[in-house]
Structure 1
Amino acid sequence: MDISSFIQNICIYALPVLFAITLHEAAHAYAARHFGDPTAYLMGRMTLNPVKHIDPLGTIALPLLCLLLPGSFLFGWAKPVPVNFAGLRNPKKDMRWVALAGPAANLVMMLAWTLVLGLVLRAAEGDFVYPLRQMAQAGVQINIVLMILNLIPIPPLDGGRVLISILPDGAARKLARIEPYGMIILLVLMFTKVLFIIMVPFMNICYLFVNHLLRLFS
């Protein structure tokens, strides 16, 4: 990839990525406070300021590497919002709703970018139509990837939290012990392409749904 194409990709993906990670983490913080834990709020993490949620590796370095590698899908993460699950009113039950708030935010953003894309596809050609269409497509893509990635049932991913919340106590404790190694497991799955194999079928379902919605604009 030449430098001009790389810079163009950064311009296209920067805004969708910032929205995706910021609203995902803010949603966790708002949900946690709603269910009784003010930790993220007290630490200044219940905010739409993207700087508060940026992780140097997961938000900057890894997405840039993905943009450089042909054929790879954009992959990354933000700095996790601190949640004291013991501080929730009903820790085990409320944990699932706090965890699901992040992927739910990505789902809403996927639908919002789909709406933008549908409107752009109907717009007359102009200077801003093509770049806005690319940005909307990037917004749909990154939110699908983040939503599905975070629903993988490996703690500390959101899917892991949800699984812990619904398993019997003994099994839940055993799964929770994996959490310190969760990101290592995830990186191994990514570099061995197993993560891609897991995610692609679910991504394809989401793209079929998006294409169905876009047909409503034709």
Structure 2
Amino acid sequence: MQRIISILITVLCLMIAAIIHEVAHGAVAYACGDPTAKEAGRLTLNPLAHIDPTGSIVLPCVMALLGGPVFAYARPVPYNPRRLRHPVRDEVLVALAGPASNLLQAALAAAILRFGFLDNPSALTWVASNEAILVVLDVLSTYMWVNISLMLFNLIPLPPLDGSAIISPLLHNKAREMYYRIQAFAMPILIAALYILPYLLGWNPIGAYISRVGGALFDVLLGL
């Protein structure tokens, strides 16, 4: 039962983090002159406008049950680079907006944890005897870790992740075309890195990257 509750908390945190991530892309695109997301009704935090049943619910639940790294995605917010005022610069800003929103969400959760509880000895004493507050702390720490993981995962420079969108506008035309061709193989490569390589080699490169870098960032945000 505890495992089911933990999975549900993780999936809920992932859904919220992924939705805000996508809205951030659209909001920055709108600020840079592209109203595509606004015209599509996607500049809203209403989950019904963003949830992808497979990517937001089924995929993270299955991954959690399998015991591997868990990630989720919402329906990508549409934008048109041709409508941006400064295409090269603004494409990078739009791509950075999603991971930046995850960092801000993680920092907010860390601030509540740190200043509301960790830096308050009397609060810690009270928390230890209050099961409801312990659940809140668990949700906050999960939300913090989910956002850090989502940020780091999206910064991987592999299409269609944000990391590739940050790099691709800076490439020359031929290099960019070649980079875009990789997009057709992106998901198989990611699945292989997440599940097949760990099975064959006993080592998960993406998991190790997120665990080490994310763990260090987690401690920094909490002031540990």
TM superposition score normalised by structure 1: 0.87
Q: Which of 155, 159, 183 is equivalent to 1:155?
A: 159
Closer/same/farther in 2, CA of residues 160 and 107 from structure 1, 3 Å limit: same
Distance 1:112 1:187 in 2: 31
Closer/same/farther in 2, CA of residues 199 and 49 from structure 1, 3 Å limit: same
Contact 2:17/2:146 (CA < 8 Å) preserved in 1?
A: yes
- Aligned residue type for 1:135: V
Distance 1:193 1:144 in 2: 23
Post-superposition offset of 1:105? 0.2
Instruction: Write out the 4+ residue segments of structure 1 that deviate beyond 3 Å after TM superposition.
Output: 193-196
Closer/same/farther in 2, CA of residues 46 and 193 from structure 1, 3 Å limit: farther
Equivalence map 1:12-51=2 (5 Å): 12-51=9-48
Task: Report the equivalent of 1:210.
Answer: 218
Distance 2:204 2:76 in 1: 22
SS in 2 for 1:89: coil
Task: Report the equivalent of 1:93.
Answer: 89
Contact 2:95/2:165 (CA < 8 Å) preserved in 1?
A: yes
Closer/same/farther in 2, CA of residues 161 and 212 from structure 1, 3 Å limit: closer
> Comparing 82-91 with 24-33, which one deviates more in the overlay?
82-91
Equivalence map 1:48-127=2 (5 Å): 48-70=45-67, 72-118=68-114, 119-121=116-118, 122=120, 123=123, 124-125=126-127, 126-127=130-131
Closer/same/farther in 2, CA of residues 213 and 32 from structure 1, 3 Å limit: closer
Post-superposition offset of 1:199? 4.6
- Residue by residue over 1:161-193, the C-alpha shift from the partner in whole angstroms, topping out at 9 and shown as x without a partner, is 111011222211211222233233322322224
Distance 2:179 2:26 in 1: 23
SS in 1 for 2:77: coil
**Is residue 2:176 matched to residue 1:179?**
no
Closer/same/farther in 2, CA of residues 21 and 74 from structure 1, 3 Å limit: same
Contact 2:11/2:61 (CA < 8 Å) preserved in 1?
A: no
- Residue by residue over 1:188-218, the C-alpha shift from the partner in whole angstroms, topping out at 9 and shown as x without a partner, is 32222469413523442332232234346xx
- Aligned residue type for 1:178: I
Structure 1 gaps of 5+ residues are: none
Contact 2:95/2:166 (CA < 8 Å) preserved in 1?
A: yes
- Aligned residue type for 1:36: G
Structure 2 gaps of 5+ residues are: none
Task: Report the equivalent of 1:5.
Answer: 2
TM superposition score normalised by structure 2: 0.85
Contact 1:24/1:103 (CA < 8 Å) preserved in 2?
A: yes
Q: Which of 186, 192, 196 is equivalent to 2:196?
A: 192
Alignment coverage as a number of residue pairs: 212
Contact 1:148/1:199 (CA < 8 Å) preserved in 2?
A: no
- Aligned residue type for 1:63: P
- Aligned residue type for 1:37: D
